[in-house]
Amino acid sequence: MCGIIGYTGVLPAKDILIDGLERLEYRGYDSAGIALLEDNNIILKKKTGKVAGLREAAGDIKSDSACGIGHTRWATHGGVTDINAHPHKCGQVALIHNGIIENYRELIVEYGLNEKLVSETDTEVVAALLDKLYEGDPVCAIRKAVKRLAGSFALCIMFADKPGKIYAVRNVSPMIAASCDEGSIIASDLTAVIAFSKKYFVVPEYHILTLDKNGIKVEDLKGNVVTPEILEVNWDITSAQKGGYPHYMLKEIYDQPEALRNTVTPRVKDGLPYLLDDGIPDDIFKEFQNIMVVACGTAMHAGMVGKALIEKKLRIPVTVEIASEFRYKDPIIDEKTLTIVLSQSGETIDTLEALKLAQKKGSKVLSIVNVKGSTIARESDYVLYTHAGPEIAVASTKAYTVQVAAMYILACKTGLERGIMDEASARDFMAKLMNAGEIIEETLKNANNIKLIAEEIKMAPDVFYIGRGLDYTMSLEASLKLKEISYIHAEAYAAGELKHGTIALITENVPVIAIATQEDVYSKVISNIREVKSRGAYVVLVSEDDEINDSNICDRQIKIPHLEGEFTAFATAAVLQLIAYYTSASKGLDVDKPRNLAKSVTVE
Ligand code: F6R
């Protein structure tokens, strides 16, 4: 949460910073600001609202300074105001921050900072503290300050009397850096850096960086110089652009076939699941007795799809926990449990802390992560990277389907290693999984029909999703997607559970989106649909059925391709994503940046 960027080099910094903030905007979009360092002077511009507003407001800055920092905010401490926006300037110091300083109140009292403060933020306290500790040596001041900070932080700092220099330090909150011919750049994530360099490094925690136009010095808190490991990204700037689509979300829905192929194909050898190139040994699949899946939001829903498959096919118990609950419930796991952690960003703080707790309890952690080199990836015992490319829309789509595919690979590998699946059935399963991209391509041909249905439900105050088994897990994700981008209250219900209370809410024309793709429970779901239909619901049926001309069952139909059991998940996901997308788009909402949200949730 919050996007930060710093650039120092040979080019004018203003536009580089604002362009970078636009790319980072998905991390927070309450307000934005930049600071430029010029002639021992710090020029500041900050503005509530989106980065486009800042760009306009910054039009009057004539400086061609080649050194500056920029921030796009997701508010935690203090309301959304110009004053609370970053950068914060105090005396000689200007800084930007992503994270939360937990002991900011104590610091105010201890260092008598009160009269230096004008905002309500925890961040400004760090600026004031640094200004107080600064005696001409920035690294020394930062070292002293960092030792006193409790909480998570990624900080980029400029000192008015140190032209051309940016200093940075972090704990937990993500930050990467790169140097190239045009200078040095530092940012919350790659989307802001990729235009300059495909090579980068993850800023090590509690190390102080000094950036200038010639490169980046990294030193630990004792002053020892460190050489960080250089990573290389396997996508380019075009992957982080809209590519002609009106919104990132739609582009990312259409990216799914390729994302699935990129994720699955490298994990198939001689038709069988193969994970040795990922550094995941075959033996681990034989050793555990049960699986604990831990994640948040959409990633957790992908874990639930995995659970439905693993329990059904392999008869191995799987528990799925919301990371923020797992952390505080003294979970029942030990060395016989394999913990699977799912995270697109690899930075979600609750998921990260849950991972650490699982390891502390003796469990090995295998994570399914999209962002290379992210904290969760680095902390895990094993990592299975999904190759979705950058996901910019706040609402996750392609990251979800590749997470489901990754769970399917793990399920098949476990089945094979344990002799629960023979080679022939594992080959058959992997062949079907390799076809998941085509399943989505085929399903997306329904887009126009789905668009019309979205028009019909867009003014409804409530929408219900129902399904059984796998389709119930799909409903959970569908309702989250609709809620977050269309602001319609949506609920997912196990179809058989409706009549135990919720059916009281079904009245004339209430939309119920019923998913009936699983053969073993198909007739049961149809009975549940009849129950809501007879109470006046407007029913949209998602199934493999050819046209059903029975107004006692449904008002609209969305047909998915004919698929075996668990593989319907890919088709259903695409349908449900499109329903949410078109509902939001037809309401004229900001699909990619829904209110109150941000990508990459790095606060608890
Ligand atoms: C919803 C969404 C979120 C994320 C959740 C976890 O569309 O994207 O629910 O899935 O915040 O994020 P990651 O996967 O980055 O850990």
Does 411 lie in the same domain as 281? yes
Q: How far away, in angstroms, is 192 Cα from ligand 1 center?
A: 20
> End of a domain among 205, 233, 261?
233
CA 374 – CA 190 distance, rounded (Å):
11
Percentage of the residues of the chain whose pLDDT score is greater than 70 = 100
Helix (H, G, I), strand (E, B), or coil: what is residue 570? Answer: helix
Q: At 270, phi and psi to the nearest 5? A: 50, 35
CA 478 – CA 490 distance, rounded (Å):
9
CA 515 – CA 557 distance, rounded (Å):
10
In a domain, 591, yes or no: no
Q: What is the mean pLDDT of residues 5-27?
A: 96
Q: Which atom of ligand 1 lies at the shortest distance from residue 403's CA?
A: 14
Q: What is the mean pLDDT of residues 481-505?
A: 96
Beta bridge partners of 176: 187, 202
Rg (CA), the chain: 25
pLDDT of the residue at 238: 84
* pLDDT tens-place string over residues 316-355: 999 999 999 999 999 999 999 999 999 999 999 999 999 9
For residue 488, pLDDT over 90 is answered with: yes
In a domain, 568, yes or no: yes
Residue from 296, 401, 576 to probe ligand 1 pocket by mutation (most atoms less than 8 Å from CB): 296
Q: How far away, in angstroms, is 598 Cα from ligand 1 center?
A: 9
Residue 452: left (phi > 0), alpha (psi -120 to 50), or beta?
alpha
CA angle 141, 145, 151 (to 5 degrees): 150
CB half-sphere exposure, 513, CA atoms < 13 A: 32
Does 478 lie in the same domain as 397? no
> End of a domain among 233, 263, 290?
233
In a domain, 604, yes or no: no
Q: How far away, in angstroms, is 124 Cα from ligand 1 center?
A: 29
CA 444 – CA 582 distance, rounded (Å):
13
Domain housing 490: 445-586
Q: What is the mean pLDDT of residues 211-218?
A: 98
CA 455 – CA 464 distance, rounded (Å):
16
**CA neighbor of 301 nearest in space, from 159, 423, 470:** 470
| Strand bridging mode 93-101 / 382-385 | unpaired
* pLDDT tens-place string over residues 243-286: 899 999 999 999 999 999 999 999 999 999 999 999 999 999 99
Please say if 599 is a catalytic residue: yes
Does 460 lie in the same domain as 423? no
Q: How far away, in angstroms, is 583 Cα from ligand 1 center?
A: 20
CA 407 – CA 264 distance, rounded (Å):
11
Does 475 lie in the same domain as 402? no
pLDDT of the residue at 564: 87
For residue 288, pLDDT over 90 is answered with: yes
CA 162 – CA 412 distance, rounded (Å):
57
Domain of 491, CATH number, reads 3.40.50.10490
CA 95 – CA 212 distance, rounded (Å):
16
In a domain, 216, yes or no: yes
**CA neighbor of 217 nearest in space, from 177, 189, 162:** 177
CA 290 – CA 1 distance, rounded (Å):
33
For residue 590, give both structure tokens.
Answer: 């900001």
CA 440 – CA 442 distance, rounded (Å):
5
In a domain, 564, yes or no: yes
CB-CB contact of 95 with 127 (8 Å): yes
> End of a domain among 434, 467, 492?
434
* DSSP, res 136: S
Q: Which atom of ligand 1 lies at the shortest distance from residue 344's CA?
A: 14
pLDDT of the residue at 346: 95
More confident residue, 596 or 604: 596
Please say if 2 is a catalytic residue: yes
Reported confidence tier of residue 240, pLDDT bands at 50, 70, 90: confident
Helix (H, G, I), strand (E, B), or coil: what is residue 105? Answer: helix
Does 361 lie in the same domain as 456? no
For residue 600, pLDDT over 90 is answered with: no
CB-CB contact of 395 with 580 (8 Å): yes
Does 186 lie in the same domain as 290? no
Does 224 lie in the same domain as 285? no
Residue ranges around ligand 1 (CB below 6 Å): 296-299, 343-345, 348, 351, 395-396, 484, 600-601
In a domain, 202, yes or no: yes
pLDDT of the residue at 410: 98
* Selected catalytic residue, list 2, 90, 412, 554: 2
Q: What is the mean pLDDT of residues 101-118?
A: 96
For residue 68, pLDDT over 90 is answered with: yes
In a domain, 602, yes or no: no
Q: Average per-residue pLDDT in the chain? A: 96
Domain of 45, CATH number, reads 3.60.20.10
pLDDT of the residue at 548: 87
Q: What is the mean pLDDT of residues 505-529?
A: 96
Does 139 lie in the same domain as 27? yes
More confident residue, 547 or 108: 108
Helix (H) or strand (E) holding 455: helix 447-457
The total of structural domains in the chain comes to: 3
Does 513 lie in the same domain as 402? no
Q: How far away, in angstroms, is 482 Cα from ligand 1 center?
A: 14
Does 194 lie in the same domain as 93? yes
* pLDDT tens-place string over residues 430-464: 999 999 999 999 999 999 999 999 999 999 999 99
Task: Tell me which residue has its CA closest to atom 7 in ligand 1.
Answer: 395
Q: What is the pTM of this model?
A: 0.92
Q: Which atom of ligand 1 lies at the shortest distance from residue 297's CA?
A: 9
* Selected catalytic residue, list 307, 372, 432, 599: 599
CA 473 – CA 456 distance, rounded (Å):
24
Does 259 lie in the same domain as 168? no
Does 247 lie in the same domain as 223? no
In a domain, 539, yes or no: yes
